Chain A
Amino acid sequence: MSAIARLPKTLPSRTYLSRTFSSSLPRKSDALFVHRDTSYNNPKIPFEFSEENLKRATEIISHYPPQYKKAAVIPLLDLGQRQNKGWTSISVMNRVAKLLEMPPMRVYEVATFYTMFNREPIGEHFVQVCTTTPCMLRGSTDILHTVCQHLGGIKPGETTKDRKFTVVEVECQGACSNAPMIVVGDDFYEDLTRETTAKILDAFAKGEKPKPGPQSGRHTSENSAGLTALTSKPYGPGQFCSPEFQ
């Protein structure tokens, strides 16, 4: 009790937000893994691959033996999702099923299994905040809070009212050396602080595209304090050799 009483109302800037141990948000499984026809997502809404994407689809299918065409289901769903404003509608799944000559249910199984297929519409910019352990230790909770607050107090999994941003929490994206990080669209934004996170979101809101990568001035994942080893000048050829070899 006393611990709670002593908590300041506004958190000091250097403290990271803490989260209690708990499971993730309670989810109604039927909302996630059963399709319900809606005005924006039903099989009557036509979906057709664009000519360019169809060519690409043919190319992807050609990577697999003809009797294993269905192996192309994941790349094709991704292709469809990209064409369909970042989400995989039931029509996209049906189109992929038709293209690969497999029962639609087999496609639904794949699309529901992989979390990177969004089965509900998303905003223009899809913001994925990594909250796995390395990022969490480097303050991703804070970044998630910043992102959510900056976008008008939405919760992870929600889309802003202007349908510009969707925020989700994701697991490790493999950029741990540049933690904390977020992914916007296909680009990584790393080494984030509250300020740089807000700046990135503002830039996207204005329609600009900030430079992806570390936001701290680092080029990649090199030591931010400069080199600590191999600092002396590397010796050239012949140096320290006996004269006959020089």
Chain B
Amino acid sequence: MLRLVSTASRPSSAGRLGKTAVPPKGRRAFASTSAKHADISLTVDGKEVTVPQGSALIQACEAAGATIPRFCYHDRLAIAGNCRMCLVEVERSPKPVASCAMPAMPGSKVWTNTPLVHEAREGVMEFLLANHPLDCPICDQGGECDLQDQSMRYGSDRSRFHEITGKRAVEDKNLGPLVKTSMNRCIQCTRCVRFANEVAGVEDLGTTGRGNDMQIGMYVEKTMNSELSGNVVDLCPVGALTSKPYAFHARPWELKNTESIDVTDAVGSNIRVDSRGVRVMRVQPRTNDDVNEEWISDKARYAYDGLTFQRLTAPLIKQGDRFVAATWEEALSAIADGLAKTGAQGDEIQAIAGHLADTESLVALKDLINCLGSDNLATDQLGGTAPPVHGVDVRSNYLFNPTIPGIEQADAILLVGTNPRHEAAVLNSRIRKSWLHTTLEVGFIGERVDTAYGYDYLGQDIKAVQEFVAGKGEFAAKFKAAKKPLIIIGSAISEHPDGASVYNQLASYVQTHKNKLLTPEWNGFSVLQRAASRSAAYDIGFVSSAKAAKTTPKFIYLLNADEVDPKSISKDAFVVYQGHHGDLGAQLADVCLPGAAYTEKSTTWVNTEGRAQLGSAAVPPPGASRDDWKIIRALSEVLNVQLPYEDVLALRDRMWEISPTLVRYDAVESTSPDVALAGLKVLVESTKKAAFKGLPFEKPIKNFYMTDPISRASVTMAQCTRAFTGDQESGISDEKGLQAAFA
């Protein structure tokens, strides 16, 4: 089924040129729905192998266990076929065949290990090296360089290079503060170009010139403004694109690799933390097709240097207007004294859970506060002290129900008050992927943003939601006709004054269209969280009761809460801050307890889908800081309400008691349609009388590079902020407008 894609290219009555005044963003190529392919069999090195029809020959060879060297081919990118390294011999083919660009044919016989193939690889390698500088000793890619590895394995053992004129020289490009370029080393595999165009959606990178003069670049001088740009460093098979913050810091063989979970957004990207001694040296993505494929956002990758600045390394007690370092014993008894002195009783004891609070400490803190007789549990967001509008009794009311890979099945998406590009960058690339390759239609309500794919703009406030629900407008019709429609509500909506009303409208829309939006196979109602701890907080019921929300707290416990409004804390309240950075929350505190950052503790993180994943400690926490749940456990003893778990396993048993999903790692427990419907019914009932003011939905993240204490302490993120979010003086005014139109 072919379609005329992109509203951009559809001829309109205004004429083609009439449309150029407001160019719609982005384009799509012809796309067809993926057909179901039969399997085919072929022989690779004498081994029979069966692969789906339409697979590339290289995939068939891989399936047969033959290793094929390659530079340009990448599973997740379009096929370029320009490095020629993957040559194999195919029966009845007069020449070696580039296996990445050749579809696997039924019954063909392929050899990957013949003299012809060896000779071909050696020849290709020689050509690639003819223009590649011999600077491996000073190249950051050394040790993890595809070219180095493959030249050792497949290349010739001696050089025939006698070119007195020297090698090709290409000027280095400035791609911004994250990606360092050394273009002499480029072998023009174009992986970075394909990534930028297909996945990241910044169509600025390309190849200019031809032949020997061909080079990768932007032609005009500008930086690569993408929140996924760091991935080109991983993709580059040579040292042409390397990481600027990591430049000359370490060699890969010196590093300890720890598999962990990213916490800079609620996607829960799988990461590998590379550390040396007590320092995190870099963060790399880990492949997980269910979550982040193999990409991570720049914040996840480069905010790690924030882990070394502004750290709280010793318990601090405020004396007068300054903090004095203390021992743990002093600090904990100071808290006990403070609690007694304020005379806080019952709901006057409040706990606020911040963005980076892990699940273990959330559970321990909730248990502690409940033991103290309080129900006053808040999350660190606007209106976080009140019970959330969507309620927390049914998980599907606040989770990303269709799951992240499920996005690719959706054929119509409505984004409400969210900019996934900044709130969940990797998830956004899935939407873009789907938008590029399928007939996906996207509708958008909220502050206009550049999402990296085209969308129908419906409006910026509750009125647009009402109109959509009433079925007015072109997009509403498209959405109704869709087979698997998906509503994505941003986490900022529940913070918005009109949030209740929006939830009411959309939940009743889902109820009326439940035959499509809520089926056993598909739950099209989803909330996109943006804080790593939020789903877990809701899962364990870290929300206040209606009664507790009305009390003025006298004792406030901030667990990693750094977004709190200082004005909301009354002057005579006693404030405890537990966290790892001396950020906003610590300034408000009377006692600071130094906790561990996400790279320093092995804790559970629940992402926006409700997928529990276990992070692991890569480095020890600095100074006197401790695992967060242990701090709370120790405090409980001082407060004479000893929590009943001695070790983390007992604590996880407690988590299992609360919700088994919290410890069923790597799996998503989907909510059944009946329960989800019941949840929506409650939601509609509770928000029935909600009034609305008609204020526009603003994007919650103004600066993608600084959203949490770690990224705010990071020098790299500060450089990114300056380079990408400020008024960039490029001297190219028209250019900018044009870019905005297409980017």
The chain A residue with its CB closest to the CB of B196 is A105
Are A32 and B209 within 8 A (Cβ)? yes
The chain B residue with its CB closest to the CB of A102 is B27
Q: Whole-angstrom distance between the alpha carbons of A37 and B734 in the complex?
A: 13
Are B9 and A35 within 8 A (Cβ)? no
Smallest CB-CB A-B distances: 7 pairs? A33-B209, A103-B203, A108-B219, A67-B9, A112-B208, A30-B171, A33-B208
With contacts A43-B735, A66-B11 taken as known, whether A101 is within 8 angstroms of B219 at the C-beta atoms is no
Q: Whole-angstrom distance between the alpha carbons of A43 and B222 in the complex?
A: 13
With contacts A29-B169, A66-B9 taken as known, whether A108 is within 8 angstroms of B206 at the C-beta atoms is yes
On chain B, the residues within 8 Å of A29 by CB distance are 168-171, 209, 213, 215
User: 16 A-B residue contacts at CB 8 Å?
Assistant: A29-B171, A33-B217, A33-B219, A37-B731, A44-B732, A46-B734, A57-B17, A58-B17, A66-B11, A67-B30, A69-B16, A97-B738, A103-B742, A104-B735, A104-B742, A105-B203
A203 → B minimal CB distance (Å): 35
A58 → B minimal CB distance (Å): 6
Q: Among residues 4 to 22 in chain B, which have CB atoms less than 8 Å away from a CB atom of chain A?
A: 4-6, 8-11, 15-17, 19-20
Binding site for B on A (CB under 8 A): 23, 27, 29-30, 32-37, 42-44, 46, 54, 57-58, 61-62, 66-70, 90-91, 94, 97-99, 101-106, 108-109, 112-113
Are A109 and B6 within 8 A (Cβ)? no
Question: Is B33 positioned at the interface, with any CB of A under 8 Å from its CB?
Answer: no
From A34, A35, A69, contact of B171 by CB (8 A)? A34
The chain A residue with its CB closest to the CB of B5 is A67
On chain A, the residues within 8 Å of B213 by CB distance are 27, 29, 32-33
Are A101 and B206 within 8 A (Cβ)? no
Q: Is the interface of B mostly helix, strand, loop or mixed?
A: loop
Binding site for A on B (CB under 8 A): 4-6, 8-11, 15-17, 19-20, 23-24, 27, 29-30, 165, 168-171, 203-210, 213-215, 217-221, 731-735, 738-739, 741-743
B195 → A minimal CB distance (Å): 14
A48 → B minimal CB distance (Å): 12
From A36, A61, A102, contact of B221 by CB (8 A)? A36
The chain A residue with its CB closest to the CB of B213 is A29
Most buried by A among B17, B29, B731: B17
With contacts A43-B220, A108-B220, A113-B210 taken as known, whether A101 is within 8 angstroms of B24 at the C-beta atoms is yes
With contacts A29-B169, A67-B9, A99-B17 taken as known, whether A34 is within 8 angstroms of B217 at the C-beta atoms is yes
Are A69 and B170 within 8 A (Cβ)? no
Are B206 and A105 within 8 A (Cβ)? yes
Q: Whole-angstrom distance between the alpha carbons of A38 and B643 in the complex?
A: 71
On chain A, the residues within 8 Å of B203 by CB distance are 103, 105-106
Are B219 and A105 within 8 A (Cβ)? yes
On chain A, the residues within 8 Å of B215 by CB distance are 29, 33-34
Are A67 and B6 within 8 A (Cβ)? yes
Q: Whole-angstrom distance between the alpha carbons of A43 and B742 in the complex?
A: 16
On chain A, the residues within 8 Å of B219 by CB distance are 33-35, 105, 108-109, 112
Are B27 and A101 within 8 A (Cβ)? yes
Q: Whole-angstrom distance between the alpha carbons of A30 and B168 in the complex?
A: 12
The chain B residue with its CB closest to the CB of A91 is B734
Are A109 and B16 within 8 A (Cβ)? no
On chain A, the residues within 8 Å of B208 by CB distance are 33-34, 108-109, 112-113
The chain B residue with its CB closest to the CB of A93 is B219
